């Protein structure tokens, strides 16, 4: 899978043009992209990036990619991010790395959202991967009870035995949505629970998905909302 991630990441930087303001996602696939981007920057490409996490900020900064904030940047030209799952309607589950809130804010503020993924991320039905939900600590107990009541089998995410905290100092609760048919309605319901800040369901946001498949990269373009894929195969 590492090769597929790297292939997709290397294809993604071909979308970057001189002068662009870029959203920089989070995760191992994005890290391959940041390494490829840093090489182009070292050769003279002029871009500025808005990192979606402290982890990405550190890596991109260390590799010499000029960075700014979303406040400074405004609307971004191109956002490149990974995904934990995607389906044929370009709906994503994200947040495996816990950066879903900033990632979704960046995606919403970007002209084009390019998703890079290995082939294990393509699913017929969303939900084998648990859906992350970012929650304000004060609301933890009530949100857990509500999610339990909704039969979503919530689990508070832990790290080294302690509650995992996001870059925005919130908690993450992972839920099982595999039995859910209408994820749009689910997302709406989840967002109405007081204390829920954001969910890892990225709906109507992905424009293009570059999926590494063996030594190739498949390009899925979302020309209109909720249409099936147009697929081109590129040998890279």
- The yes or no reply on residue 82 touching ligand 5RP (CB under 6 A) is yes
- The yes or no reply on residue 209 touching ligand 5RP (CB under 6 A) is no
**Whole-angstrom Cα distance, residue 99 to residue 2?**
21
Residue 198 is among the residues annotated as catalytic for this protein: no
Spatial contact of 209 and 226, defined as CB atoms under 8 Å apart? no
Closest separation in Å from C-beta 143 to ligand 5RP: 19
- The yes or no reply on residue 26 touching ligand 5RP (CB under 6 A) is yes
Closest separation in Å from C-beta 160 to ligand 5RP: 18
Question: CA-CA-CA-CA torsion for 154, 157, 162, 164, nearest 10 degrees?
Answer: -140
Contacts of 227 (CB under 8 A, 6+ apart): none
Is residue 96 marked as binding? Answer: yes
Q: Which tokens in the block code for residue 7?
A: 């292939």
**Residue 22 is inside which H or E element, if any?**
strand 21-24
User: Which of the stretches 78-86, 156-164, 203-211, 214-222 binds ligand 5RP when contact is defined by CB under 6 A?
Assistant: 78-86
Contacts of 44 (CB under 8 A, 6+ apart): none
Mask 30-69, x = binds ligand 5RP (CB under 6 A)? Answer: ----------------------------------------
Is residue 25 marked as binding? Answer: no
**Whole-angstrom Cα distance, residue 7 to residue 121?**
14
- The yes or no reply on residue 190 touching ligand 5RP (CB under 6 A) is no
Which residues of the chain form contacts with ligand 5RP (CB under 6 A)? 25-29, 81-84, 94-100, 103
**What are the residue numbers of the active site?**
103
């Amino acid at each position: 899978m590492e090769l597929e991630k790297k292939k997709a990441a290397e294809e993604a930087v071909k979308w970057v043009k001189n002068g662009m303001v870029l959203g920089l996602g989070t995760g191992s696939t994005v890290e391959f992209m940041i390494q490829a981007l840093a090489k182009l920057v070292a050769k003279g490409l002029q871009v500025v990036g808005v990192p979606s996490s402290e982890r990405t900020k550190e890596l991109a900064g260390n590799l010499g990619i000029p960075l700014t904030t979303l406040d400074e940047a405004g609307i971004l030209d191109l956002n490149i991010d990974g995904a934990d799952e995607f389906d044929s309607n370009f709906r994503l589950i994200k947040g495996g790395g816990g950066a879903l809130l900033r990632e979704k804010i960046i995606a919403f503020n970007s002209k084009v959202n390019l998703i890079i993924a290995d082939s294990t991320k393509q699913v017929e039905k969303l939900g084998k991967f648990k859906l992350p939900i970012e929650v304000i600590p004060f609301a933890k107990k009530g949100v857990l009870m509500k999610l339990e009541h909704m039969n979503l089998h919530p689990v508070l995410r832990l790290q080294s035995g302690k509650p995992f905290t996001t870059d925005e100092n919130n908690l993450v609760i992972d839920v099982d949505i595999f039995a859910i048919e209408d994820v749009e309605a689910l997302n709406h319901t989840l967002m109405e629970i007081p204390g829920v800040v954001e969910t890892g369901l990225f709906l109507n946001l992905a424009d293009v998905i570059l999926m590494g498949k063996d030594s190739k990269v498949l390009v899925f373009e979302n020309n209109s909302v909720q249409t099936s894929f147009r697929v081109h195969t590129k040998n890279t």
